[in-house]
Amino acid sequence: MSRLRRGDAVVRSLLGLTLLLALSTGAPAYAGSWVRGNYVSTSGARGFQLWVPDGYQPGTPLPLVVALHGCLQNPDQFAGLTRLNAKADAERFLVLYPNQATFANPTQCWNFMLGGNQERGTGEPALVAGMVEMVKQHYAVDARRVYLGGVSAGAVLTGTLMACYSDVFAAGMIGAGAMYKAATTVSGTAFAMLFGSIYSPDDRGRDAWVCSGRPRRTVPVLVVHGTEDSVVNPINGEQAVKQFLQASDYGDDGVANDSVGSVPTATRTLRVPGGRAYTVKDYVYGGELVAQKYEIQGMDHAWPGGDASYPFADPSGPDATTFMWDFFKQHALDGP
């Protein structure tokens, strides 16, 4: 064996040991409890928290939701804001909270605009995907029902993972975020946040379709945005919808032929009692709810229906955690 091959073998062994320790040294995997650990690979290292729901049984596969926090947040804060653990206990699914490290970004924003974080198999997307595989190895996960959702920077990373790992994630939610590759530089990100991306959602839709290397698949997306978002211009939400509709148009038959169109098939306006009005747009093609858009009237940069004791909550909006899960559970990956 060459020195290089021996070195690779050592690295793989050390990584495997690190992954094992990450789970075995965390909190006990009792139902209704946190497991904390670290994931290390050639793409880097990040911490994570895993919520094991009440009623978890090792022999019964459950769905897995990956929850990606925004800037100036951590897993505990995002879990508190969204009340996602309570929903997981009620509906029986695991929740994985990757944690952005301050050494990677002092404000704990995901670095979605860097080229190394916009492709399959590299950077932060690879770290999150690796965490998912690690959880599958140690817990009973239904691999056909793995979902992800995020807010702000976490929402943009969600779009990247949906594009580049469409064989892993059955559906995703982009909350107050932007489309995949909305920007490829820091300055471009600042412009996109203020005015929307300079890139065509149709062109970026093809990029999203190509990134996974497994293109024959629709990518169901839920997009949530406030009409008065002062941090991420609401046009970004519309661009994200159009991008993933275009990706799904390619994904169902390999051709951009409007088999999945860009016009809502149903639109309804609702109101939270004593709270905000909101519009829901459905895009149903081939009998599948391929995309859904929630426009929350008057809402700023926030998680609608969130716990008011946490930053970035808008309790007067509809409960995003509930309608996110309602969207997710309509979707599952095809095949084994």
Domains of the chain, first to last: 45-328 (3.40.50.1820)
pLDDT surpassing 80 at residue 25: no
Indicate the average pLDDT of the chain.
Answer: 90
Please compute the mean of the pLDDT values over residues 306-334 and round it to a whole number.
96
**Cβ–Cβ under 8 Å, residues 164 and 119:** yes
* pLDDT number for residue 252: 87
Of 10-19, 145-154, 316-325, give the lowest mean pLDDT range: 10-19
Residue corresponding to tokens 């190895």? 137
* pLDDT number for residue 15: 42
pLDDT surpassing 90 at residue 175: yes
What does the alpha-carbon distance between residue 192 and residue 187 come to, in Å, rounded to a whole number?
9
213 pLDDT band (50/70/90 cuts)?
Answer: confident
- Which residues are CB-neighbours of 34 under 8 A, at least 6 positions away? 26, 27, 49, 50, 51, 52
- Which residues are CB-neighbours of 15 under 8 A, at least 6 positions away? 40, 41, 42
Of 85-94, 244-253, 318-327, give the lowest mean pLDDT range: 244-253
Pairwise pLDDT comparison (78 vs 31), residue with the higher score: 78
pTM for this model (two decimals): 0.90
Q: What angle do CA 163, 167, 37 make, to 5 degrees?
A: 90
Q: What angle do CA 105, 182, 171 make, to 5 degrees?
A: 90
Please compute the mean of the pLDDT values over residues 48-60 and round it to a whole number.
95
296 pLDDT band (50/70/90 cuts)?
Answer: very high
Please compute the mean of the pLDDT values over residues 104-109 and round it to a whole number.
95
